Chain A
Amino acid sequence: MIPELGQLCTTIALCLAVVQTFFPLVGAQLDKPAWMAVARPAAVGQFVFLALGFGFLEASFINNDFSVLVVAATSNSQLPLLYRMAALWGGHEGSLMLWVLLLAVWTIAVTVSSRRLPEALAARIIGVMGFISAGLLLYIISVSNPFLRLSPVPMDGNDLNPLLQDPAMAMHPPILYTGYVGFSVAFAYAIAAMLAGRVDRQWARWVRPWTTAAWMFLTIGIALGSWWAYYELGWGGWWFWDPVENASFMPWLIGTALIHSLAVTEKRDLFKGSTLLLAIGAFSLSLLGTFLVRSGVLVSVHAFASDPARGVFILSLLIIVIGGALSIYAWRAPGLDRNAGFKVISRETFLLVNNILLSTAAGLILLGTLYPLVLDALEAGKISVGKPYFDTVFIIPMLPLVLATGLGMHAAWKSANLSELLRKLRWPAIIALISSITITALAWGTGPVLTYVGVAAGIWLLLSSLRAPVMRLFGKGPRLTASMIGMQLAHAGVGLFVIGVTVTSTFSIETDQSVRLGETVQVADYAFTFKDLQQRQGPNYTALRADVDVTRNGRKIAHLNPEKRIYRVQTMPMTEAGIDAGLGRDLFVALGDDLGNNAWSLRIQYKPMIRFIWFGCLVMALGGLIAIGDRRYRAAVQTESSTVNAGTATRPA
């Protein structure tokens, strides 16, 4: 009964989504206030029924109702409650339910805060979001129904993939999807503005907090996925450039460019064409990512073709949403864009370069991700694309970007004085260079030139980002708004990230050793003693748990418990690494195979500064959070004159 109720609620939500699309969009076009007024109640109704539908599906997971196909496929009665709930988004059908639910949540947020928007703009935004929701709900109900029953009913479920039975991985999809779906708000704003034929600075001010919020979630979601890969895959790597990761990273890059382009639109009424295109691009890539990667078309052509109904539906949806948006763009953007008004050396130029470099990086990653597909379609020869390709094409646009960011942050709008800029920043530059060489050499010894360049670039970005806030602490320099502090903090986060990536990739020590019980091995300055090995029973797995003591100069600094787990249902062995985390370094021990004679293979790693990678991402997200808090986003419609004045040059980006 419960799944059927869920299906009913979801169907009602679809009907309401159609209403939410049709009346507001047509009403705005024909200027019928009564039709436009349908937008808010329809959005609220859609959310309520979707939440009920989602709740009923979640109830089936919690109650172990294995007569429901998706429950039988990804859950199991032995699974702890948290993972039974998370199992909902462990499969394709359930994860799409989560996707539309989050879309409804964003729509409600827009609805609530839309009181101060012009009626027609609010109606169009809610209408566009209703349209996306309607398309997805139709897909869910027609070809990807999570409420289908299974007959005969199995005794127990197939269990959730053990790789996903982890707290970070249970949280990862909701946070990541919140980011993905959040870009739909900027997308809807862009379409609404183009339909109305008006993109102005006030519009940009309205879009900015939404975009930053979505970006913030995406940043945390990606960082969480990377952190999970690091400790759960038992391999010590933190980024693999696999299609699933790329699918989340491309919208992040374009979303980052969008944030910067919006800054120019808000401050200078410029870059409107690129702002609109980036807004469409960020959400299109989210959509493309959700579908193409989840449906498996990039991993295996077979997976896609084996379910042609889904494939045709997905493609039609992409064509209508993305193709439609780009057509409106081709039609309306030429009348909206405006060029000119800034010198070669100005903040505008730096932000333009930023957008080009970020888009280039996203484009090259998209190319690498789709390459197999395109070549296969052409029946051309096969060329392989892997980590080496992505590493190379990513660092080429990113290194100049990191260097230019430090300058760009301090450049004035319209026209900046280059010698003034260089004078202001010579100390950060000099300190970055010297400290990069000395710190690196003192802490880890010598490395290749690129290592020093990377560390210097990171320190440079950190110092140039923190220059203004630190001076402000001493009562010097201009007053800082929340959005300026947020921007500087986010850039400092990028600096930390760059330092972490560079040091980790150069100075990590990775060894695999055969170690007997009681034996001690030395890695870097650390002595690892293999003390004990015991069996342990988990709720749905059996584990072998090792005791490893770590000492440095005779002093005990850590006690690690790496595990090897066998999950009973899928009989899949999993490595649970033992990690002693520290800001300066991680010590990582994973338990390998039994080599006989009481000897085991131990994977022991020393990973300097690896925490900076995720810490940097958190700082970036925190910067976003602070920027959203800026009062001007909540102020009533500002008069144009309040921002165009002599003070513009020192205003935030």
Chain B
Amino acid sequence: MNRFIVPIIGFAILVIFLLIELNRDPTFVPSPLIGKQIPAFSLPRLEDPDQTLSDADLRGKFSVVNVWATWCSGCRQEHPVLNRIAAQGQVPLYSLNWKDEAERAKSWLQQFGDPYVATGFDGDGRVAIDWGVYGAPETFLIAPDGTILFRHISPMTMDIWENEFLPRIAAARSGAAK
């Protein structure tokens, strides 16, 4: 085999991956965790490392978990949206501060506003791996029993919030009422 064929083979492999991605069901949610229980975890809180944020804190009500970092420009973009969602007060927002520096993260929240009830500091990204996080920002919707209802990858928008998150909460509520 001569070396001049290598580039086209490499490209062919890339194309195969793109084709696989493309042929996925458009409603496909790329997480094996949907419908499953949230992974058990316990992290120091950003605002007070002596306290912890754990999976138990997320249960018992509908909650939203946002994964963010100060180096992520998409997070900067979605932040005002999260502030608005928090101000509406329908669902408490929690967050995982992912692969970040605590000082930077704290000043970020001071600068741009803190929409979160509590933030777990996941500096080395271990907990995020359990959650299947592969990039920031990501936002999860959690049911009171701890199942993951929905996962949104990429910056949050009011549109996504109103059309993907709120209807799922309403559906889960009416399902539970029956």
Residues of A within 8 A of B (CB): 163, 229, 233-235, 237, 240-242, 273, 277, 280-281, 284, 296-297, 299-306, 308, 311-312, 315, 318-319, 322-323, 326-327, 329-330, 333-334, 337, 370-377, 379, 381-388, 510-512, 571-573, 575, 590, 592-593, 601, 603
Contacts and interface: CB of A to CB of B under 8 A. Distances in A.
11 contacts: A233-B76, A302-B154, A318-B15, A333-B4, A370-B14, A373-B21, A384-B125, A384-B128, A510-B104, A512-B111, A592-B110
Contacts, number: 154
Contacts of B77: 163
Interface residues of B, number: 51
B65 to A, nearest CB: 15
Nearest to A326: B8
Interface of B: 2, 4-5, 7-8, 11-12, 14-15, 17-22, 24-26, 28, 30, 32, 69-74, 76-77, 80, 84, 98-99, 104, 106-108, 110-113, 125, 128-129, 132-136, 153-154
Contacts of A382: 129, 132-134
B15 A572 contact: no
Nearest to A572: B80
Given A311-B22, A383-B129, A334 B76 contact: no
Contacts of A330: 4-5, 7-8
Nearest to B111: A592
Contacts of B26: 302, 305-306, 308
A372 B30 CA distance: 11
A322 B11 contact: yes
Given A235-B76, A330-B4, A386-B69, A305 B22 contact: yes
B29 to A, nearest CB: 8
Closest 9 CB pairs of A and B: A512-B107, A300-B154, A326-B8, A377-B20, A592-B111, A387-B71, A372-B134, A305-B26, A382-B134
A388 B113 CA distance: 25
Given A305-B28, A383-B129, A374 B17 contact: yes
A595 to B, nearest CB: 8
B77 to A, nearest CB: 7
Given A233-B76, A590-B111, A386 B71 contact: yes
A360 B70 CA distance: 28
Given A303-B154, A326-B8, 13 more contacts: A241-B71, A242-B72, A299-B153, A304-B21, A306-B26, A312-B22, A326-B7, A370-B14, A381-B132, A386-B71, A601-B110, A603-B107, A603-B111
Contacts of A305: 21-22, 24-26, 28
B102 to A, nearest CB: 13
Contacts of B2: 334
Counting chain B CB atoms within 10 Å of each CB, the highest count among A299, A302, A372 belongs to A302
A531 to B, nearest CB: 20
Contacts of B11: 284, 322-323, 326
A322 B18 CA distance: 14
A242 B7 contact: no
B67 to A, nearest CB: 9
A593 B17 CA distance: 45
Nearest to B3: A273
Contacts of B18: 297, 315, 318, 373
Contacts of A308: 22, 26
